[in-house]
Amino acid sequence: MTLFQLRSRLEYIPKLFLDLGIGEVIEIESFNQRTFSKTSKFLVVTQIDKYLVKFYENMEVPKFLDFIGFLNSVNFPTNRLITKTPHRPLDVPPCMVYSFLEGEVKSFLDDRELSDFSQIIARLHSESDNFYGRDYSSNNGLTHGDVNLTNIIYNEINQPSIIDFDKINIRNYVYDVASFLFFNTLSDLSYGKVNIEQAKDRGHAFIQDYENTREMKLDGRRIAQALRYQSEQFLKYTRQQLREKRVDEKIIQGRVNLVGRINNLFQ
């Protein structure tokens, strides 16, 4: 995001909030910006509440956001979509205003939390079927696209919500299962919370709980393919970090070794 883009968005947000009648803006904070992301995010504080404003450079995302509204209507645990952009200047991309969820991001889920979350992913895919109609021939539907521990927020009574649907798209549902499987196992092994056999058992238990909730069987070959894809994308990002000198080569090698072990676990 250029300085000009940042300035235009900061100027636009207070006007947008006045138009929407959701309070006078007290503070705006650039939130979790990444150089490779096509979404710019801002935490906005008003006298009423806190909100998350996202500006989308990727035009694919906004066209799916009716589904977020549907998820809100069936009380699925995620951010509440306040509104789409009513009118905006030409130099401002489409933006959405969401409620801001406060809570804890965990680096490790115990077995009960893992089982509970598998049911939430299964419910997400079932709600996609309800919204668009189930495709029994391909098992495709709207997927979250980035199911990892940083996108799961636990509230004060330890109930999880899924956030950040910026990579939402129509894919095989296996993609979300493999995404979580990869990143959760990576976290488990990275922090030394479990050994390799426990990681394998936890992964298979997650798959089984998902299948039981959905009353369907996942294709093991597709899971393996999706895991390889996640591995490739993760290593691509890791190499980018090395080029930008954000990590050293020793960390890179450690990640490469872990990724290889994860792929072997779920062949």
27-42 mean pLDDT: 75
CA geometry: angle 113, 181, 117, nearest 5 deg: 25
pLDDT band of 32, cuts 50, 70, 90: low
The pLDDT score that the predictor gives to residue 193 is 82
Indicate the class that CATH gives domain 1-97.
alpha beta
The pLDDT score that the predictor gives to residue 85 is 57
Write the pLDDT tens digit of every residue in 75-122. 999 999 987 655 666 678 888 899 999 999 999 999 999 999 999 999
Question: What is the pTM for the complete model shown?
Answer: 0.88
Is a pLDDT exceeding 80 seen at residue 137? no
Question: Given the structure tokens 């804890």, which residue do they identify?
Answer: 104
High-pLDDT (> 70) share of the chain, %: 89
Architecture of domain 102-263: Orthogonal Bundle (1.10)
Greater pLDDT, 37 or 138: 138
pLDDT band of 246, cuts 50, 70, 90: low
What crossing angle do the helices spanning 66-73 and 111-132 adopt, rounded to 10°? Answer: 120
Calculate the average pLDDT of the chain: 87
Core vs surface per residue 98-119: b (16+ CB within 10 A) or e? bebbebeebeebeeeebbebbe
Domain boundary assignment for the chain: 1-97, 102-263
Residues facing 16 on adjacent strands: none
